[in-house]
Amino acid sequence: MDGSAAVLERYLRERIALTVPLGVRVAEASPECVRLSAPLAANINHSGTVFGGSAAAVATLAAWSLLHLRLAAAGISARTVIQRSQMEYDRPVTGDFEAHCRLTDPLIWERFTGMLARRGRARLSLQATLYCAGQSVGRFEGEFVALGAAYATPDPAEP
């Protein structure tokens, strides 16, 4: 695990409690790509496959993490929340799995940051793909909202 992955993993474990029981690990973390992994054992359902809610949570975390890292790299301070999401499963997840998220269109990012600067809030749709044993097993799409200082509520965990 490189330094940025370790930093993100520590942040997720300290600030997003769900990551611990899900067994989420950060395989890659950069403003270009986030890859999170999770074990079957911590997310198993009654059928011996990954519980759909666990898979959706890991995919959501991958997308949220990409947005978090891109904002930090751009020096933009904003609170980010998910507004809506959709998850599609192509096949059962039968083992340890990963969620990959990339922002593929730089123009979308430019429009997002421009709107955030002008209005103090902006929305961004992100997609993540779930993989198990190297094969795509599902897709996530979520719309995230970034709130600038004028809209943000103070985080009691920050000084």
Q: Give tens-digit pLDDT for 50-62.
A: 999 999 999 999 9
In a domain, 132, yes or no: yes
Q: Say yes or no to pLDDT of 111 above 90.
A: yes
Q: How many structural domains is the chain composed of?
A: 1
Helix (H, G, I), strand (E, B), or coil: what is residue 145?
Answer: strand
Q: Say yes or no to pLDDT of 63 above 80.
A: yes
In a domain, 83, yes or no: no
- CATH code, domain carrying 66: 3.10.129.10
Q: State the residue range of the domain holding 14.
A: 3-77+89-104+126-140
Q: What is each CA distance from 117 to 50, 78, 153, in whole angstroms?
A: 40, 10, 18
Query: From CA 57, how far away is CA 140, in angstroms rounded?
Result: 10
In a domain, 147, yes or no: no
Burial of 47 (0-12, 13-18, 19+ CB in 10 A): exposed
Q: What is each CA distance from 13 to 16, 26, 35, in whole angstroms?
A: 6, 10, 15
Query: From CA 79, how far away is CA 125, in angstroms rounded?
Result: 16
Nearest to 124 by CA among 153, 152, 87, 83: 83
First-last CA distance in the chain: 29
Mean predicted confidence (pLDDT) in 81-105 = 96
Burial of 141 (0-12, 13-18, 19+ CB in 10 A): middle
Mean predicted confidence (pLDDT) in 22-35 = 97
In a domain, 7, yes or no: yes
Q: Say yes or no to pLDDT of 120 above 60.
A: yes
In a domain, 120, yes or no: no
Q: Say yes or no to pLDDT of 158 above 80.
A: no
The answer to whether the pTM exceeds 0.85 is yes
Confidence of residue 104 (pLDDT cuts 50, 70, 90): confident
In a domain, 113, yes or no: no
Confidence of residue 3 (pLDDT cuts 50, 70, 90): confident
- 26-36 burial, b if ≥16 CB within 10 A, otherwise e? bbbbbbeebbb
In a domain, 156, yes or no: no
In a domain, 44, yes or no: yes
User: What average pLDDT is seen over the chain?
Assistant: 93
Q: Which residue has the tokens 């004028």?
A: 150
Residue range 122-143, pLDDT digits in tens: 999 999 999 999 999 999 999 9
